[in-house]
Amino acid sequence: MRAGLATSVTLHVLVLGWGLVNISAPASFEVDDVEALPVELVTAAELTQIQEGAKDAPKDGPSSVAPTEPPEPDPDAVNIGNQEKDQSTPETETQKAVEVEEARLPDPTDVPLPRPAPREEPTPVVEDTPEPEATPATEIAPEPEPKEEVVEDPVEELITEAEPETASVPEEVTEEPAPEAEPEPAPEETPKNVQLPDQLPTPQARPERPQAQTAKTPERKKEETQQAQSSATQEETEEKSDEVASLLNREQGSGGGSKANNQQASAGGSRTTTGNTLTQSEMDSLRGQIQACWSIPASAQGEVGLKVSVQFQLNQSAQLEGKPRVTSSSGNRQLDDSAVRAVARCGSQGFQLPADKYDSWRDVVVNFDPSEMFR
Amino acid sequence: MEHDVSILGLFLQAGLIVKMVMIGLLAASIWTWAIIVDKTIAFKRIRSQLNRFEETFWSGQSLEELYRTLSDRKTSGMGSLFVAAMREWKKSYERGARSPISLQSRIDRAMDVALVREMDRLESRLGFLASVGSIAVYVGLFGTVIGIMTSFQAIAGSDSTNLAVVAPGIAEALLATAIGLLAAIPALLAYNKLTTDAGKIGSRLEAFADEFSGILSRQIDERASQQQRTAAE
């Protein structure tokens, strides 16, 4: 017995030792880290049957999202002085105030008395005058007036000298428009004086306006249109997300669409609130019916990639109307013919199809694929 | 928490009851194999002894001589049957027993006793194999059930139904059933084999006993008729 026990123990030790070494731990499965996807089951019917809803259905909520407002028209571009950029509205107000001052200043010019005074004292006046004159001269061609002033030599010389200065210092233009008016009217004499106070201050400021507008308003408009577009696309995406949400919603769609328009909430279904498309099972049924009538020619058996599309019309009792025709041939003449024959054979008896969905199966296109018959 | 899924790791992680079940089953397996080895060797030896004894017995050697050689040493199998019968025979004649019928019955009983003793020795410990063969599976199953139960209790506490949490506990529980089957299958096979072997040897012994009993009764009858003839003369 001792021998038996000894052999048994050694046997067990050997087997266990071998097992511990060789079958110690099975290699663990390699598992990819896949994040869990929340899956919501939506039946095909729910997706295919969703419609706008019936006309008389009770309203489910507000009929539309906030009404869209037309974008405000772009404000006129405003330019102060020689500044290249348009200024915002508060600055234009200040400019207007300045203009008003300009308008007041000419008042004394109406009175002929002060005019001679500048002539008598050319030097001080000239120092002021060049600055305003410079701007119109560069920008507006049809101002002949300075040329008339040329009569006075010292003045003209000074003007030409002063021009570079004015170009470099544009801010002064607004500050001293009054003195400009005084030298200019002088050569033209009284009849023009009446017009001058109104016109003169304005051209100085305005000639730059049209330039600024032509140059910059298009850019602005683009920006604004872009903004408008982006806001429009945002609204669109919101609409789409609403639609997706309504598709995922288990509740049946009823009156009160969520589209962002102010029109009627619901278009209303014609007859039923169910979709008018064939469900998957109905399509399968039709497929099976046609398949039963189809005998595949020997030349096409086992071939892969052959496909025939046959189009045919059906009447109300689901019987073939007219002749089926091949819309896309497989290239195999016999297969095409067999498909047409299958449709003709089945169609003469009439298919089993839901009568209330006639709209969806009045015109049918069936794809014949012999490789799928042998699955 | 990373689990050691090697067999040793599973054993060490198991609960106390499951561990005890596993150890018990392992011990049973060791003992089973010890018995299997022991019995196989013993049966082989007995068979060869039987062959040798039958050869010498039917070689025409004198039974008295054979008895003299065998009575000195320790015998087994047929030898012990032969020795038991011959001893009874000798004793009866030495003491001058008269009745041949009672002598015959005494010799038979002596051989029966010897036969039963021999059969006992042959079939000793085979019962253990039968027990292991039938019970080890249930014991292993018990360990598994306990292990799975405790692991499910742990899962209920941990609020996670992830398979990674469930798997190690079930694996270590299933180890108990595996060990149980590992012990039971060879035990059952060996039990069936060894009992048939023991039965064959036993029937051979019985056949020898019957044969020897017949020889002895013929001797008794011959001696009785001889005595009657001498008495008549």
CATH number, domain of A333, equals: 3.30.1150.10
Q: For A364, how many CA atoms within 13 A lie in the half-sphere containing its CB?
A: 31
Note the pLDDT tens digit of each residue in B94-107. Answer: 777 667 778 888 88
Q: Which domain holds residue A337?
A: 280-373
Q: Is B31 close to A25, i.e. CB distance below 8 A?
A: no
* Percent of chain B residues topping a pLDDT of 70: 97
- Tell me the C-alpha distance between A86 and B84, whole Å: 138
Q: Is B29 close to A1, i.e. CB distance below 8 A?
A: no
Contacts of A25 in chain B (CB under 8 A): 4-6, 9
Contact in structure between B127 and B31 (CB atoms under 8 Å): no
pLDDT of residue A318: 83
Domain residue limits, chain B: 7-227
The residue of chain B with its CA nearest to that of A10 is B30
Reply yes or no on whether the pLDDT at B173 is more than 70: yes
pLDDT of residue B48: 92
More confident residue, A207 or B120: B120
Does residue A203 form part of some domain?
Answer: yes
Q: Please count the residue pairs, one from chain A and one from chain B, whose beta carbons lie less than 8 angstroms apart.
A: 49
**Structure tokens given for A309:** 């599309």
pLDDT of residue A158: 56
More confident residue, B36 or A282: B36
Q: How far is CA B92 from CA B68, B83, B129, in A?
A: 17, 14, 43
Q: What's chain B's Rg over C-alpha atoms?
A: 29
Closest CA to A16 of A26, A8, A5: A8
To the nearest whole Å, the CA of B110 is away from the closest chain A CA by 28
Q: Is B34 close to A25, i.e. CB distance below 8 A?
A: no
Does residue A229 form part of some domain?
Answer: no
pLDDT of residue B207: 92
pLDDT of residue B191: 95
Contact in structure between B10 and B168 (CB atoms under 8 Å): yes
The domain boundary, picked from A168, A192, A211, lies at: A211
A323 touches chain B (CB under 8 A): no
Positions in chain A short of pLDDT 70: 24-26, 28, 31-38, 45-65, 75-80, 82-240, 243-276, 372-375
Does residue A98 form part of some domain?
Answer: yes
pLDDT of residue A293: 82
A22 touches chain B (CB under 8 A): no
The domain boundary, picked from A211, A230, A246, lies at: A211
Note the pLDDT tens digit of each residue in B191-209. Answer: 999 999 999 999 999 999 9
- Tell me the C-alpha distance between A258 and A60, whole Å: 10
pLDDT of residue B105: 87
Does residue A216 form part of some domain?
Answer: no
- Is the C-alpha dihedral spanning A46, A48, A53, A59 positive or negative? positive
**Structure tokens given for A335:** 């297969």
Q: Rounded to an integer, what is the distance from CA A102 to the centroid of its chain?
A: 47
Note the pLDDT tens digit of each residue in B52-89. Answer: 888 988 888 888 888 888 887 777 778 888 888 888 88
More confident residue, B160 or A353: A353
Q: Are A113 and A191 found together in one domain? A: yes
Q: Is A4 close to B30, i.e. CB distance below 8 A?
A: no
ipTM: 0.74
Does residue A169 form part of some domain?
Answer: yes
- Tell me the C-alpha distance between A164 and A166, whole Å: 5
Mean pLDDT of chain A: 64
Does residue A269 form part of some domain?
Answer: no
Nearest by CB to residue B30, choosing from A8, A20, A25, is A8
Residue A251: helix, strand or coil by DSSP?
coil
Nearest by CB to residue B37, choosing from A7, A24, A26, is A7
Mutate to test the interface with A, among B3, B7, B40, B132 (most CBs of A within 10 A): B7
Number of domains in chain A: 2
Q: Is A3 close to B30, i.e. CB distance below 8 A?
A: no
For A131-155, b/e burial (b = at least 16 CB within 10 A) is bbbbbbbeeeeeeebbeebeebeeb
Residue A39: helix, strand or coil by DSSP?
coil
The domain boundary, picked from A166, A186, A211, lies at: A211
End-to-end CA distance of chain A: 66
